[in-house]
Amino acid sequence: MNSTAPTSRCSAGKPIRLRWFGFPQARPGEDLEVASRKFLDVISNKNRDINQYVSSMAVAEFKQRIRIAQAGLLTPQREIKPIDSSKAPQLFEIRWQSITVRERNGSGVFEDKRLLIRMYHSEPEEVPTHFVAHHIHEKIISGDGSTWLLQNEEISTAIGYWQAGLSINWGIQS
């Protein structure tokens, strides 16, 4: 790991609170539930068989990773890493590397697919007791070199939510 890379509060060994400030909006106290619904929306599409078992297991895995983040115990680089950006804000991505779903392939047959899910968050100095989640998406690996471009679009979405909440401390009461 690069020794000059920023360290996330989610891996600093101290408890921290989640605030969801993205789409859809969350009232304080509903952050984990709203983020979980967003996560489920991200992994669902018409070509996937997301039955109750699959959705329950995926959401449980999502919530467990968030609880580990709230305990400050995520593993740097494997579960969380800083987003390389030369402009503010400093964002981090919490990573899910193998959410498994059943997806219809080009022949119409369902097969297991492992999804790469990313949740971007900021850790504003103004609210040192929180990490503020802004956006969740599925990382699409393409063979045509567009993976980086697609991910940068998703990071821009997260930055937009960060900017929208800056003047109101992302809805966090001091």
For 165, residues 6+ apart whose C-beta sits below 8 A from its C-beta are 21, 132, 171
d(CA 6, CA 90): 9
Over residues 28-72, the pLDDT tens digits come to: 899 999 999 999 999 998 899 999 999 999 999 999 999 999 999
Looking at residue 21, its pLDDT comes to: 97
The answer on pLDDT for 8 being more than 80 is yes
Looking at residue 162, its pLDDT comes to: 96
pTM of the predicted structure, to 2 decimals: 0.92
- Closest-CA residue to 65 (of 79, 53, 54): 79
Over residues 145-172, the pLDDT tens digits come to: 788 788 889 999 999 999 999 999 999 9
Looking at residue 132, its pLDDT comes to: 98
> Model confidence at 174, in pLDDT bands (50, 70, 90)?
low
The answer on pLDDT for 2 being more than 70 is no
The answer on pLDDT for 144 being more than 70 is yes
CA distances from 152 to 15, 17, 79, 137, 159 (A): 30, 26, 19, 11, 10
d(CA 7, CA 81): 8
**Contact assessment for residue 121 and residue 165, using Cβ atoms and an 8 Å cutoff:** no
Looking at residue 124, its pLDDT comes to: 94
Structure tokens at 76: 């740097």
Structure tokens at 4: 């000059």
Looking at residue 3, its pLDDT comes to: 55
Over residues 73-121, the pLDDT tens digits come to: 999 999 999 998 677 789 999 999 989 999 999 899 999 999 999 999 9
Structure tokens at 8: 């996330």
DSSP 8-state secondary structure symbol assigned to residue 72: T
d(CA 100, CA 94): 17
Residues constituting the chain? 174
